[in-house]
Amino acid sequence: MKKNQGIVVLILTAVLTVLLVFTSAVGFGPTGTGAARNIILGLDLSGGVSITYQTKEDNPSSEDMSDTIYKLQQRVEGYSEEAQVYQEGNNRINIEIPGVSDANAILEELGKPGSLEFTDPEGNVVLDGTDVADAQGGITQDDTGNNQYVVSLQMTTEGTEKFAEATEENLGQQIAIVYDGETISAPTVQSVISDGKAQITGMQSIEEARNLASTIRIGSLSLELEEVRSNVVGAQLGTEAIRTSLIAGAIGLALVMIFMIVVYALPGVVAALSLLIYTALELVMLNAFDLTLTLPGIAGIVLSIGMAVDANVIIYARIREEIGAGKSVRNAIKTGFQKALSAILDGNITTLIAAAVLGLLGSGSVKGFAMTLALGIVLSMFTALVISRLIVNALYSVGLQSEKLYGRAKTRKTIDFVGKRKIFFIISIILVLAAPVGMIAHSVSGGQALNYSLEFVGGTSTTVTFPEDTQVDLNMLDTDVRPAVEKVTGDANVQFQQVVGSNQVVIKTRTLNVAEREEFSQTMQDSFGIAEDDISAETISSTVSREMQRDAILAVTVATVCMLIYIWFRFKDIRFASSGVLALIHDVMVVLASYVFVRISVGNTFIACMLTILGYSINATIVIFDRIRENMHGVKTAEDLKELVNVSVTQTLTRSIYTSLTTFITIAVLFIMGVSTVREFALPIMVGIVCGGYSSVCLTGALWYTMKKRSLSKEKK
């Protein structure tokens, strides 16, 4: 790069940084002026719409309720991946959608749940709503190139057979779609449809097509529903919670930037700029892709800042190594980026594969996490491999070429990690067994194996209406009402939702028995002057249904297998993949132990935490594997193999320590400054960071050596 080009790059970088920071972070929130003010916030941060349906059947079966809830969950995720659907009482279903404020519009678009039937010209029912898997309104073009508005139908397996038979018997005739006794469409059968895919044509607008599709989708539920109430609810957390989390994020970012500058000098300044650009891009992209941001999501972004440092650390450590090996600064920069590329790509692609699987197979918060994770991965690679490279080369081209500005790697004495592997294995076995032993102990003593939150096991929802002269807001609920509720329940897992424009508040707690409900009611009456008639309680189901839990387990399992296959393919050795997956299992079990012994509530953040640890751990492991692969030449004996692993782990030790430290710093600031919800997310993440650093340095190389040593022994024989 020539000097003039370097000056242009630096000027453009300065302009880009200022522009991104201004358009993303300035005035964050609904009153702000930056682009980030348009980010969709979750129920916890901004509230949304709450809709309650009741089944027309008085005593629906648990199977039908479960199926209906799951299908509704799939539908409302179109509005937000953080939308929640759960059961209230015996025959009611609640839907909560964040980031929207018009309940009527949602009701109109979602549709009125009722009875859906497909009938032939003689009035016989040939299919019903449960035979329809999906319906979508859209636009296609006819043979002349004109737009036509259609509804595309996808039948279930059973519905496909029924539909094939019905279309064969009624070829050239109409099959009417009847909703609650009213014919909403009567398309003519043009051909026999045996694959379960059909299109309804003839709509006059895209709105008409979408409304018809919505009616068909909602009519395919197992149960007929009727609306009971709909409200706009306020945020579950106060502005103070958001403010402290944002301040913590800013402090964490500043500390990491300072750390990088102190440690890496001029490249550290580049890393700081890259991190600033990365953070701003993250906020802009959240807005662009309409991703929902929750308070744990803010914590996740702060965590991603720490993880984004990793690529920079790998690159700049490589540059120092090349300078230490005697290369010129120019060649060291070029070679450093080249040699760091494989480790960065392999680590991030592995995590990106996991994110893709989670996004395809997961649901609810798992899908939302996957989308945010994938976005962070792509942006971190872009800023490290493109932005950082451009800036470093530009700085060199304008005259900043002294070796002192870049640093020289010191020769480090090789540490015998492999020789201490038995000690590490014993420690790890104890740590892994801690979780199941603790869970068994809690179960035997009459408690729960894990401290499951409302999202996993449901609880009691109590609706209270405070007197008109009471000033009800989140601060009042947190300071006055929360302690009173916790005294009755003996549990800190309490959620508040205020109905906008009223003094009505929904208080969600663990499941309360009859005596506790009476005590709760009496406390509300005595402490806040609430009339007995203004207090009502219902049992609510978990917001993370069994189907969603099943989806999450399946998604994580498939993601792990896919990561294993990718590592196997890239490193041409199943032992790399096997030891990497064993390290992942180790880290997850240790983090699980923190939930068991500290009694952190297991809710939606639990899933996000475990998935975060998977991504963080595999990244750290890949870096060491990449160095082993690079150094693997002339290895013939077990001693050569042992030296290879020890040298490789020692060479990457600085990276492992620095990445763990910077990530830990960002989360530690959140833990210190954040509200209880954030601390419950931050604590196990901190455990995972320490554990991930330990397993990547002390376990993965040793595990690979143990497996590889056996193959060498067999080859000798």
Domain range 459-540, its CATH number among 3.40.50.300, 3.30.750.24, 3.40.50.1110, 3.30.70.100: 3.30.70.100
For the chain, percent of residues with pLDDT exceeding 90:
15
Concatenate the DSSP letters of all residues of 212-249 into one string. Answer: HHHHHHHTTSSS-EEEEEEEEE--SS-HHHHHHHHHHH
Residue scoring higher pLDDT (227 or 533):
533
Question: Mean pLDDT over all residues of the chain?
Answer: 83
Taking only the tens place, the pLDDT of each residue in 311-341 is: 888 888 889 889 988 899 999 999 999 988 8
Q: What is the pLDDT of residue 27?
A: 45
Instruction: Name the band, by pLDDT with cuts 50, 70 and 90, for residue 422.
Output: very high
Taking the C-alpha atoms of residue 351 and residue 40, their distance in angstroms, rounded to an integer, is 25
- CA–CA separation, 500 and 489 (whole Å): 26
Please state, in angstroms and rounded to a whole number, the distance separating the CA atoms of residues 626 and 632.
10
Q: Which region among 453-457, 619-623, 655-659 has the lowest average model confidence (pLDDT)?
A: 453-457
Percent of the chain with pLDDT over 70: 90
pLDDT of residue 649: 92
Res 381 pLDDT > 80: yes
* Averaged pLDDT, 672-684: 79
Please report, for the chain, the start and end positions of each structural domain, with discontinuous segments joined by +. 48-111, 114-220, 239-435+546-716, 459-540
Instruction: Please check whether residue 597 is in contact with residue 683, taking contact to mean a CB–CB distance below 8 angstroms.
Output: no
What pLDDT is stored for residue 239 in this prediction? 63
Query: What per-residue confidence (pLDDT) applies to 303?
Result: 65
Instruction: Identify the pLDDT of residue 714.
Output: 62
CA distance 268 to 524: 56
CATH of domain 114-220: 3.30.1360.200
Strand order in the sheet with 132-141: 132-141, 147-155, 197-203
- Enumerate residues 6+ apart whose C-beta is below 8 A from 622: 343, 346, 347, 350, 567, 580
Strands 40-41 and 292-293: parallel
pLDDT tens for each residue of 50-70: 888 888 888 888 888 887 887
Nearest to 684 by CA among 296, 406, 136, 350: 296
Would the pLDDT of 31 be above 50? Answer: no
Q: Which CATH architecture has domain 239-435+546-716?
A: Up-down Bundle (1.20)
The CATH code belonging to domain 48-111 is: 3.30.70.3400
**Rounded CA gap, 657 and 623, in Å?**
12
Q: Please write the tens of the pLDDT for every residue from 175-196.
A: 998 887 788 888 888 889 989 8
The listed range with the strongest mean pLDDT (111-115, 222-226, 260-264, 712-716) is 260-264
Is 90 exceeded by the pLDDT of residue 667?
A: no
* Predicted confidence band of residue 646 (pLDDT cuts 50, 70, 90): very high
Pick from 298, 135, 306: which is nearest to 215 by CA?
135
- Cα 205 from Cα 150, distance rounded (Å): 9
pLDDT in tens, 71-125: 787 778 777 777 888 888 888 888 888 877 777 777 766 656 667 889 998 888 9
What mean pLDDT is predicted for residues 556-560?
Answer: 81
Cα(218)–Cα(240) distance, integer angstroms: 39
**Token pair in block for residue 310:** 């990793």
Is pLDDT at 699 greater than 80 in this prediction?
A: yes
**pLDDT for the residue 28:** 45
Q: What is the pTM of this model?
A: 0.74
The answer to whether the 239-435+546-716 and 459-540 domains have the same CATH topology is no
As a three-state string, the secondary structure of 173-206 is CECEEEECCEEEECCECCCCCCCCEEEEEEECCH
